[in-house]
Amino acid sequence: MTLPASTKNEIERLLITTVRDKLRSYEPETDAMPFHYRLLGRDRYAVFSFIHSMNTTFGASLWEQIAVILAKSAGYSAKQHYRLLGQIDDKTEETIRVLHRRLRAGEVTANRADEIRAIQASILPGEAEEDPDSVVDFYLNIGDQENYFDLTSAKPNMKEFAALKLKLLRWDALALSRDKKAKVWSRLAIPYNPYHPEPYERWTLKGLYDLSSQEILVAEDFWNFVGGGNVFQPLLDTFQSAGKTLRPEIDKKFREFGRL
């Protein structure tokens, strides 16, 4: 499968525009870093700082924008920064807290079907209210299936993984408070696998997430799911094409850093 030319062009334009905006507006860090500058060189540190800034841009919004483009190209309904409204009653909050504590303690192993049944058995009908966890990075509707994604960094630590699991359980409850029979899938997405070509087997996943039910989607599993087919390699090719267009502008900016 290949991406339609219109989809590839839209993603490529987004990438080029985003990087050009960053090149135009970026200024090296003004904080004094005397040890780093002397050890690594101020120019090299400026390059590192720019790349770090680009990574922040990807994490803040770019992955979600690309996911929306791919999903809509596949004919799905999708939104970034979706507001999931609902109301979690006190009993269900306690049900979730107990379940989360038992998962963290290793007393039970994650089983998505069991977790959903426990929340369904507890949740009361709720109003469409804002909640501290209402903002979903990426919402994807496929048929009657509602998918709520948190797009996270490639290497969350144990504390972060645990906090994300609690958020996913609360998303399930918010959605089910509006419709107890809704087909809800709250998931974690990791846009790329830093361990490639080895599988993503970070020890912090153990027991907290039901991997057999795709509660976590990593790299091509996520992008292919969102795009409705084998879109991962064409997506990488699109990034490479944008990179070739941008290379002279990036090299020029890096030469400016060399004069620091």
For residue range 202-225, list pLDDT tens digits in order. 766 668 999 899 999 999 999 999
Produce one character per residue of 107-137: b if its CB has 16 or more CB atoms within 10 Å, e if not: eeebebeebbebbbebbeebeeeebebeebb
DSSP β-ladder status, 145-151 and 135-142: antiparallel
pLDDT for res 205: 66
pLDDT tens, residue by residue, 52-100: 888 888 877 899 999 999 999 999 999 999 999 999 999 999 999 999 9
CATH code that applies to domain 76-227: 3.40.1560
Q: Is 146 exposed, middle or buried (0-12, 13-18, 19+ CB in 10 A)?
A: buried
pLDDT value at position 30? 59
Nearest partner of 77 among 144, 159, 158, judged by Cα: 144
Stretches in the chain below the pLDDT threshold 70: 1, 28-31, 203-206, 258-260
CB 219 within 8 A of CB 196: yes
Bridge partners (DSSP) of residue 133 are none
Amino acid 158: pLDDT: 86
Which pLDDT belongs to residue 204? 61
Specify the pLDDT at position 53. 84
Any idea where the domains of the chain sit in the sequence? Answer: 1-74+230-260, 76-227
